[in-house]
A and B are shown apart, each in its own frame.
Chain A
Amino acid sequence: MRIRTLAVGLMAGALALTACGKEGSPTDSGAQAPQQTAVQGVDVPGSPTFAKIKAEGKVTIGVKEDQPGLGYKDPTTNKYTGFDIEIAKLVAAKLGFGEDKITYKAVPSAGREQAIANGDVAYYVGTYTINDNRKKQVGFAGPYYTAGQGLLVKKDNTDITSKDTLKGKKVCSVTGSTPIQRVREQGLTEPGNIVELQNYSQCIGQLDQGQVQALTTDDAILKGYAAQEPDKFKLVGEPFSKEPYGIGIAKDDKALRDKVNDILQAAIDDGTWQKIYDNTLGKSGSPATAPKIERY
Chain B
Amino acid sequence: MDVLFDNLDLYGPGFLTTVELFALAAVGSLIWGTILAMLRVSPVPVFRAAATTYVTLFRNTPLTLIFFFFALAFPLLKIVQISFFTAAVTALILYTSAFVCEVLRSGINTVPVGQAEAGRALGLTFGQILGSVVLPQAGRTVVPPMVSTMIALLKNTTVAAGFSVVEAGAIQSYLSERGYNVFVGMLWVALFFIILVIPMTLLQRSLEKRWSVAR
Which residues of A are at the interface with B, using a C-beta cutoff of 8 A? 14, 17-20, 109-114, 131-134, 136-137, 174-178, 181, 192, 194-198, 202, 205-206, 209, 211
Contact = CB atoms under 8 A, between A and B. Distances in A.
Interface string B134-171: 00000000000000000000000000011110100010
Interface of B: 65, 68-69, 72-73, 75-76, 83-84, 161-164, 166, 170, 172-183
22 contacts: A14-B65, A17-B65, A19-B72, A19-B73, A20-B68, A20-B72, A109-B177, A113-B176, A114-B182, A134-B179, A175-B170, A175-B173, A176-B174, A176-B175, A176-B176, A177-B177, A181-B177, A195-B84, A196-B170, A206-B72, A209-B76, A211-B75
A195 B164 contact: yes
Given A20-B72, A176-B177, A206-B72, 9 more contacts: A14-B68, A17-B65, A20-B68, A109-B173, A137-B179, A175-B166, A176-B175, A195-B84, A211-B76
Nearest to B174: A176
B177 A19 contact: no
Given A133-B178, A197-B163, A192 B76 contact: no
A25 B73 CA distance: 22
B37 to A, nearest CB: 29
A161 B164 CA distance: 25
Contact of A198 (B162, B172, B176): B162
Contact of A113 (B83, B166, B181): B181
Nearest to A174: B173
Nearest to B65: A14
Contacts of B182: 110-111, 113-114
Greatest chain B CB density within 10 A among A136, A176, A181 is at A176
Contacts of A202: 72
B68 A18 contact: yes
Contacts of B173: 109-110, 174-177
A181 B174 contact: yes
Contacts of B69: 18
B164 A196 contact: yes
A187 B95 CA distance: 35
Contacts of B183: 114
A177 B118 CA distance: 63
Contacts of A211: 72, 75-76
A186 to B, nearest CB: 15
A192 B83 contact: yes
Contacts of B73: 18-20
Contacts of B75: 211
